[in-house]
Amino acid sequence: MTEDNPLEPAIKRRDLPAEVIESRTQASAEYGRFEAMLRPRVEAHVATYGMALDVLTMLHQELADTLDFDITGDTRQPAVWQMAGRCIGLARALLYLVRAGFCAESIPTARALHEADRLLDAFADPDEDELLLQWLRDTNWIPPRDARKARGRIEEKLDEAMSDAGMPPLRGTVDLSGDLYGRLSGAGHHRRPFVAEAVSVPLRQMATGPHPDPIHRATYVEWAGHVIEEAVQTVGDAFVRFYGPAFFNKQVGPLVSSFKAIREAQNLGPDVLGTIR
């Protein structure tokens, strides 16, 4: 008996309400219309992000093919190479998830990718030996806050260099990174809003696979593009130590420009998606 337990009220069987059946019929028709409108835009975004990751994958493999460093050695070069590959792999996993239509379920992968980005920042910097040695020794995992602190020190050096060159400092990213990681962690820890996001009250349904709403899926594709872009820039910056100072502008700059171009040509922002429904 559960009558006295407010967490377990009595429930009983009943027929599915007519209004729910009607809502499902209407939603099915709307989803078909939204899908026809959004599929070309979504596919264009996915293709752009995928091509950027293909370029990074080629460049990553080229390092192993043309340089003689021990790819599993206990030095900075293999650590940077391996963590760069980790970032590329996680970015691909995120792209596969959103391309397949997974939404909130993709956020833990985005969190792991963002964490790997910050570790790669630290490993690639010649002044950040402590975290690198900790990772190489594998005595314990590196807390994300420590990687963010390393990023803060790196940004301080950049600001000093820019000041010496008579240029204004860059906007710091440490606080933004901490806020982003906290939000992403909410999904990773299965907090209620992120679980409830998959639930439709009018339809009395929950997405347990690809989300049925094309607008919701498109929102996540656009969002994932920004997370993937961060990875592209982080990996590209790390590759500078192997390919030389001109590498970023020559190889990575066009990839970043392609992300901006696809957002302008095939807009999936809220200003567009908000007018469709």
Q: How confident is the model over 64-108, as pLDDT tens digits?
A: 999 999 999 999 999 999 999 999 999 999 999 999 999 999 999
59 part of a folded domain: yes
Q: Which residue has the higher pLDDT, 274 or 261?
A: 261
- Cβ neighbourhood burial of 257 (10 Å; 0-12, 13-18, 19+): exposed
Q: Are 158 and 170 in contact (CB under 8 A)?
A: yes
16 part of a folded domain: no
Q: Which residue has the higher pLDDT, 15 or 186?
A: 15
Mean pLDDT along residues 176-197: 84
pLDDT of residue 181: 73
**Domain around 131:** 38-273
pLDDT of residue 159: 55
pLDDT of residue 1: 46
pLDDT of residue 3: 60
pLDDT score of 119 more than 80: yes
Q: What is the pTM of this model?
A: 0.90
9 part of a folded domain: no
**Given pLDDT bands bounded at 50, 70 and 90, which one contains residue 184?**
confident
12 part of a folded domain: no
214 part of a folded domain: yes
pLDDT of residue 183: 81
Mean pLDDT along residues 3-15: 88
Cα torsion 109, 112, 118, 124 to 10°: value is: -90
259 part of a folded domain: yes
Q: Which residue has the higher pLDDT, 271 or 252?
A: 252
Mean pLDDT along residues 133-152: 87
pLDDT of residue 164: 58
**Given pLDDT bands bounded at 50, 70 and 90, which one contains residue 162?**
low
For the chain, how are helix, strand and coil distributed in percent, rounded to 5?
Answer: 70, 0, 25
HSE, side-chain direction, 13 A CA sphere, residue 145: 1
Q: How many domains does the chain have?
A: 1
The secondary structure element, H or E, covering residue 219 is: helix 214-243
Mean pLDDT along residues 212-219: 97
pLDDT of residue 172: 61
64 part of a folded domain: yes
pLDDT of residue 177: 67
Mean pLDDT along residues 186-209: 94
The mean of the pLDDT values for the chain is: 91
- Spatial CB neighbours of 204, under 8 Å, sequence gap ≥ 6: 16, 20
pLDDT score of 57 more than 80: yes
Q: What percent of the chain has pLDDT over 90?
A: 75
26 part of a folded domain: no
- Dig out the tokens for 67 from the structure: 């340089």
Locus of tokens 């302008």: 264
In this structure, of 58-67, 87-96, 164-173, 240-249, the range with the lowest mean pLDDT score is: 164-173
